[in-house]
Structure 1
Amino acid sequence: MAKDEPSDEEERELWDRLLTTTTEEEFRKFVIDQLALRPDESVLSVGCGPGFETAALAQHITEEGSITGIDLNEEVLAAAKDRCGDFSQVSFKQGDITDLPVADGRYDLAIAKQVFSQISDVESALNELYRVIKRDGRMAVTAGDRRTHVKHTPTDRMQRADDIYRSEMTDRQRGTRLVGLLPETGFSVEKVIPRAKIQTEINAQIERGIEIQRRFLQASDTFDDAEIETWEQELRELDEADQFLSCGTAFLYLVRKPE
C-alpha cells in the first residue's frame, strides 16, 4: 500500500463520515421522497457505497420486492452488508456501472445518485442502465454542475484557489449535459428537479474537498507552500467565525424507459 493510500478500514470510516453529514442525509431523503416507491418493486442501487441508501430504500420495499446494491469497492460493500443484514429483500453485488452484473430487463427502478461525476464513460453507463431496466421502468439519476458551485471567498487568495479547483475538475457540466445524453440513450425525461446542497461548516465532506483542492494547489505554478497554508487557515477562520458558506446545485433526473 502506498504511503498516502488509506487502508480498507480508513476508507470505510471515511465513507461513513461523508455519507452521514446532515447535508447528505437530507439529500438522500429528498431523492427517495420523489420516487413514489411501491413496496413490491425491484430496485437497483448503483454506487450503493456502505449501504445508507440501500437501508433507506428497504424501509419502503417489502419482501415482495427486492433491492440490489452494486459497488466497485469490496470494503464498502462489506459495510453495506453489515448495515443491511436484517433486510432479507436486500442483496449486494460487486460491479461497475459500465458492465453491470445483472440480467437484461431485471428492474422496475434504477437509482444512480452522484455516480456520474466519478466516471468517464458516460455513454456505456447509460446504455447499461437502459439494458437492465424493464420496459416502462424508471430511473433516478443525480449529478451536479460545477458552474453552480459558489463559496464565500472574501480574499483574493481564496478566489484564486477556487478558480484553480474549478479548472481542474473534469466535465464540470455533467449535471446539465444529462438533459441531452439521457434521450440519446433512449430514455424519456419526465422531470428535472434542482436541489441546492448547502454547507455552513467544515464537516467531513468539506475536509475531503480541502484535501483534493490542496493537491491541485500544490501542482499549480501560482501557489507555494506558505500561501497554501495561509489559504487553508483563512478557510478555518471563516468556519470559526460562523461565516463558512458553500453551495452547489445537484440535478435529479426522473426518467423512463419506453414500453
Structure 2
Amino acid sequence: MTNHQLSDEEETEMLEQILSTATAETFRNFVCEEISLQADESVLSVGCGPGFEAAVLAQQVGEGGSVTGIDVNEDVLAAARNRCSNLSQVSFQHGDVTELPVTDESYDLVIAKQVLQFVDDVDSALEELFRVLKPGGRIAVVESARESEVMHSSDPEQMRRANEVYRTVRGDRNFGTQLLSLLPDAGFTVEDVVSRATVQREINEQVERGIEVQRGFLESSDAFDDSEIEAWEQDLRDLDEANQFLFCGITLLYISRKPE
C-alpha cells in the first residue's frame, strides 16, 4: 500500500465503504440526536460526502425543511444526488468550506463533521460558517481529540514512534480541543461539548484507510526503514487475526450558536 493522492473516484469509493459501516451509522445518529433538529429548519452539511448524512437530516427536518450538502468532490456529489434523489428537500452544490457558494445568514444549522482537519486556513473556514448562519442559529462541529487515540501493539515503543511520525507530518491540525478557543474567536458561543469514545475491535474499511495513510507517512519518514514498516503493519494484522486488535479514540462534538 502507498499513500498516493486519491482520485475523486477513488475517494468516493473509499467514503462509500467507510460511511456505510455500522460504526459510521451509529455516529451519524449520535450527532443528529445531540443537535435536536426541529421540523422545517434549514441545514447546511459542509463536506457532505456521498449523502448519508443529508438523508438522515432530511428525515428530521421533514418536507417543510431543507438540507443543502456542499463538497469539493464532484464524484462524491454525484453519489449524494443519487442517494437522495427521492428527497425533494435535499440539494447539493460544489464548493469549499473557505468559500461557501451560499448567501449570508441562510441556515438555521450548519454541520461540519471531520472537515476542519483537512483545511489549511481554518480561520477562514470558521468565518464562512459564521457568515452563512442565521443570527441565533447553531453550528455543530465534530473533530477527533488526537491526544486520546490509543492502539494496542505487541511493540509499544514501535507504536509510539509511528504515532510520533504521524503527529509530525500532520502538524498542529488537532482541532479536537483547540475548537474551545477557535469557535469563540470566530464569534460563536459554545453551548455544549459532547464526547464520544470510538472503540474498534477489528480492521474494517475505516481502519484499513488509516493504516494506508499511516504507512505512507512512515515511508516518507527517515525514522522507519522498510523492514520496520512491514513489522509495524504485520503486528496489527497478526493482532487482528488473533482477535486482539484494539483502537480507541475520543471524538468531540461542539454545539455553538451565533449571537442574535
TM-score normalised per structure 2: 0.94
Distance 2:139 2:167 in 1: 29
**Cα shift readout 1:117-169 (whole Å, capped 9, x = no counterpart):** 11111111111111111111111101112111111122133332223223322
Q: Equivalent residue of 1:125, what SS?
A: helix
Helix, strand or coil at the partner of 1:34: helix
In structure 2, the residue matched to 1:11 is 11
Structure 1 residue aligned with 2:188: 187
Q: In the alignment, is the contact (CA less than 8 A) between 2:99 and 2:125 conserved in 1?
A: yes
Please tell me whether the aligned partners of residues 187 and 258 of structure 2 are also in contact (alpha carbons under 8 angstroms).
yes
* Cα separation, 2, equivalents of 1:173 and 1:223: 23
Contact 2:188/2:256 (<8 A) preserved:
yes
- Structure 1 CA distance for aligned equivalents of residues 142 and 7 of structure 2: 29
Aligned position for 1:79: 79
1:145 aligns with 2:145: yes
CA distance in 2, matches of 1:51, 1:32: 14
Q: Distance in 2 between matches of 1:213 and 1:127?
A: 31
Cα pair 2:116 2:143 within 8 Å, conserved: yes
Gaps of 5+ in 2: none
2:197 aligned with 1:196: yes
> Are residues 181 and 8 of structure 1, via their aligned partners in 2, closer, same or farther at CA, if it must alter by over 3 Å?
closer
| Structural mapping, 1:114-129, within 5 Å | 114-129=114-129
The Cα shift of 1:7 comes to 4.8
Alpha carbons of 1:73 and 1:164: their partners in 2 closer, same or farther (altered >3 Å)?
same
Confirm or deny: 8 A CA contact 1:23 1:198 kept in the other structure: no
- Single out whichever of 177-186 and 224-233 deviates more from structure 2: 224-233
CA distance in 2, matches of 1:31, 1:233: 34
Partner of 1:175: 176
The whole-number CA distance in structure 1 between the counterparts of 2:167 and 2:203 is 19
C-alpha spacing 1:190/1:7, structure 2 compared with 1 (3 Å): closer
The alignment partner of 2:140 has SS state of strand
**Inter-partner Cα distance in structure 2 for 1:181 and 1:5:** 29
Distance in 2 between residues matched to 1:94 and 1:110, nearest whole Å: 16
State the secondary structure of the residue aligned to 2:55.
helix
Q: d(CA) in 2 for partners of 1:88 and 1:116?
A: 29
Work out the CA distance in 2 between the residues paired with 1:243 and 1:162. 19
Provide the residue aligned with 2:33 in structure 1. Answer: 33
Q: Quote the offset at 1:116 in angstroms.
A: 0.9
Task: Work out the number of aligned pairs and report it.
Answer: 256
Residue equivalent to 2:48: 48
Match of 1:166, as an amino acid?
R
Mapped partners of 2:31, 2:168: distance in 1? 29
Counterpart residue number, 1:67: 67
Post-superposition shift, 1:246? 0.8
Q: 1:40 touches 1:61 (CA, 8 Å); kept in 2?
A: yes
Partner of 1:95: 95
The 1-side partners of 2:224 and 2:180 are apart by 37
